[in-house]
Every structure is written in structure tokens, then in C-alpha cells.
Amino acid sequence: MSNQLTTSQLINAANQSLLFIAHRPEIVMDRGEGMYLWDTEGKEYLDFIGGWAVTSLGHSPQVIQDALSSQAATLINPSPSFYNKPMIEFAALLTEISCFDKVFFASSGAEANEGAIKLARKYGSRHLGGAYEIITTTNSFHGRTITTMAATGKTQWQHLFAPITPGFHHVPFNDIDACKSAINSNTCAVMLELIQGEGGVHSAEHEYVNELREICNETGLLLIIDEIQTGMGRTGKMFAYEHYGIQADIMTLGKGIGGGFPLSAMLTTDRLNIFDAGDQGGTYSGQPLAMAVGLAVVRDIISCELPLNADIQGSYINQRLHEIQRKYQLTYIRGKGLLIAFDLPNARGSELVAMCRDEGLLLNSPHSQTIRLMPPLIVNKDDVDTMLRILCSVLDSMYV
């Protein structure tokens, strides 16, 4: 059917049968390769959204194609009640490259965070006299299930879909005293992103993170880091916690770990291997197709040294943005590796995103004044130069 339809017929069909969830531009993406996407009109887009910080190896990389086809021909799903080889291999790899000992697999970031929250509550019930409250930060993002929406620090979400899951206490980010005074006998954990991604790319300060670790040590609370956006090389190291030199008790991964395939993970320590049989699970937990893709993606991230590339290209983007900063009155250039943001002189973010898209460049505006860059980790200097040429031409037409 779809091959016969024009783009406007496809858009009509979409409006007829897809539940509305968001305003989308009237284009239909058709094909991807490396740093580029093509729509059904054959228009080419240089992709600095990267499937939302997801396509770490670029679009349709050969390693994912090979992993999918060979695994699909071997074993797709023996049921979650049996072990399978790629599941075992992938868990071993993740524990080898991180400071964690145990892995639980899921399909989405929110689901990994639900697992982290359940594990923290289990720990609270076993070791902290039934404590269940989790301290999270304002402006954070942890997912879209009812419970992860409650964990998320967006004030507009606290009244949506009421009644929301109780047991979350939001404190200002980077404010150690606020966290200290929020701790009470009901608290079992502190949960945060080391760099708030959806919140607009705001980094936790070193001292703050180190003090959080100390407080958790002293009080017996768990430290949970949500590295769904920052993990797997995105920030110039394999995991963002390496920038801080701390070890958390629980870490969640998603987005880039599957290179575009639905895959997430919750990692923890031997000490927290405390779920009873049946407490946690999922039909697709550790299913072979996802495991084979994850293995291939993470092996490729390691062998191609993509965290290093993220660091190098991220520094180059940062330098180039500083060069054009004055001309366009850009402010607050920030981020680490290939998770970068800057602010415009006024609230024209979505306008800039639309104009860049018309010119064949995909960018994201997480807030009206903010532009965020999160390209595939394979991005090179030529791609960055092309991105900046288009961005500057659009900024010229908007501001000069």
C-alpha cells in the first residue's frame, strides 16, 4: 500500500488512524544511512537528533543488520523463562565494562527505571524498616509510565493522570542542602541524571555528586543514576559517572544501548541482588534479538572507540559554537561529548528547528529558547562543518 501513496496521502492516512500524541511535521521518513535520513519525497536530512540520542552507530549500520538477521535465523524468542546465549554474553559484557555486577534487561528506559524504583523499594522494605520514598530532582526526566512520571521533576506532570504514584520527593538540582533536608525515615534512595537531558542539558556539579554519594553511604540510602541518555559513550566516556569518579548502587541504561532497537537495562551490585522470584520480569526481558543487537552495538562502540570520538567531535562542536556565539548572541553553550545545548537570544527554538529542517538539518529544541544537539556517535568533522554551515545560514536569516 505505502509504495503507491503520495506523501500527502500518507499524512492523511496517518491523521485518520494514528492516535494523536504530538504535533509532527508533514513529512514521512523513509530511509536512513549513517548520519542521514531521507523522507518519502527523497529529501535528505543531516541528523543531529540521532533518533533522540538513540542511533549511536548511525542509521541502519551493517553491524545491526548482521546481528538482527543472523539472530533472527537462529532464535527469536524461547520465552523469558529460559536462559539464552546472547542474554548471558551481553550481561557479562556490561558488567565487565562498568562498575556493576548484575544486569536486568528491558525494552524501554521507563521500564528500566521502574525496575530501579522497585529494587530501591525492595531494599527499603528489607533493610530500612519499610522506607519507600525516593528523592529526585526538579527538571529531571525519568519516563512516561505513571510511576516514572511521578519520579520526573516536571511540575506540569504532577497533576496529569491523577492520582499519581506517591513516594517521590523533588528537590532542586545541584542543591545538596535541599537534598539533606528532604531525607527522613521514609527515604530509601536518591535518584538523578548526572546530566539532565530532556531538562535542557544541565550537568550535576562534581562536589554535589560526591556529597550525594557520601550522604547515601552515611544514611544507608541507595544512589540511583539514570544514564539512559548519558550512557554508552554519549558524553565522551562510556558512562557519565566516570566523569565524577563515583559508583552508584543502581544505574539505568536505554536509548543508545540498542542503537535504535528497543532495549534498556538496569545494572546493580551483588549486594542488591535481592529480588525474590516473581518480583520482577517481563515478556521481552533478555529476548535474543534485542540481546544480539545490544551486544553488536556495544562491541562496536568499544572497538571503534566511539566514546573518544564523542569527546573529540563534542569539543570541536563546542569550539565552533563559541566562534559564532557573539555574532548570533548565543548564550550558555554547555554539555559534554555529544550531548550539547545552547540558548538563543529569545524563544525562537521551534522556529529555528523548523527552518533548519527545511534546509536539511535535524536539530532538537527541548525548551523554547534552547537548542540541543545529540548526533550519532559516528559523527565526523565534515558532518559538524555541514551542520554549522546550515545552522549559521538559518541564524543569519533569523537574527542578522
Residue type, 146: I
Q: Which stretch binds ligand PLP (CB under 6 A): 103-111, 127-135, 292-300, 360-368?
A: 103-111
Nearer to ligand PLP, 335 or 390 (CB): 335
Nearer to ligand PLP, 122 or 255 (CB): 255
Residue type, 42: G
Residues 6+ away with beta carbon under 8 Å from 9: none
Taking CB under 6 A as the rule, which mask of x and - marks residues 111-150 in contact with ligand PLP?
A: --x---------------------------xxx-------
Q: Which of residues 11-70 bind ligand PLP (CB under 6 A)?
A: none
Q: Which of residues 239-268 bind ligand PLP (CB under 6 A)?
A: 254-255
Distance CA 277, CA 66 (A): 35
Residue 236, C-alpha cell as written in the block: 565522551
Nearer to ligand PLP, 307 or 355 (CB): 307
Nearer to ligand PLP, 201 or 395 (CB): 201
Q: Which of 137, 229, 268, 370 binds ligand PLP (CB under 6 A)?
A: 229
Show the beta-strand stretches assigned E in the chain: 29-33, 36-39, 44-47, 102-106, 133-137, 168-171, 187-192, 195-196, 202-203, 222-226, 250-253, 264-268, 331-336, 339-343, 361-362, 364-367, 370-373
Q: Closest approach of Cβ 52 to ligand PLP, in Å?
A: 7
Concatenated DSSP letters of 355-397: HHHHTTEE-EEEETTEEEE---TT--HHHHHHHHHHHHHHHHH
Q: Which of 34, 86, 109, 260 binds ligand PLP (CB under 6 A)?
A: 109
- Interaction of residue 226 with ligand PLP, rule CB under 6 A: yes
Q: Which stretch binds ligand PLP (CB under 6 A): 70-78, 106-114, 239-247, 343-351?
A: 106-114
Q: Which of 133, 198, 300, 383 binds ligand PLP (CB under 6 A)?
A: 198
Nearer to ligand PLP, 40 or 203 (CB): 203
Distance CA 119, CA 334 (A): 33
Q: Closest approach of Cβ 73 to ligand PLP, in Å?
A: 27
Residue 289, C-alpha cell as written in the block: 534479538
Nearer to ligand PLP, 113 or 313 (CB): 113
Q: Which stretch binds ligand PLP (CB under 6 A): 74-82, 222-230, 306-314, 323-331?
A: 222-230
Residue 351, C-alpha cell as written in the block: 522556529
Distance CA 335, CA 329 (A): 18
Q: Closest approach of Cβ 114 to ligand PLP, in Å?
A: 9
Q: What is residue 23's three-state secondary structure?
A: coil
Distance CA 311, CA 369 (A): 25
Residues 6+ away with beta carbon under 8 Å from 129: 185
Taking CB under 6 A as the rule, which mask of x and - marks residues 157-176 in contact with ligand PLP?
A: --------------------
Q: Closest approach of Cβ 351 to ligand PLP, in Å?
A: 24
**Minimal CB distance residue for ligand PLP:** 109
**Strands of the 36-39 sheet, one edge to the other:** 29-33, 36-39, 44-47, 361-362
What residue ranges bind ligand PLP (CB under 6 A)? 108-110, 113, 141-143, 193, 197-198, 226, 228-229, 254-255
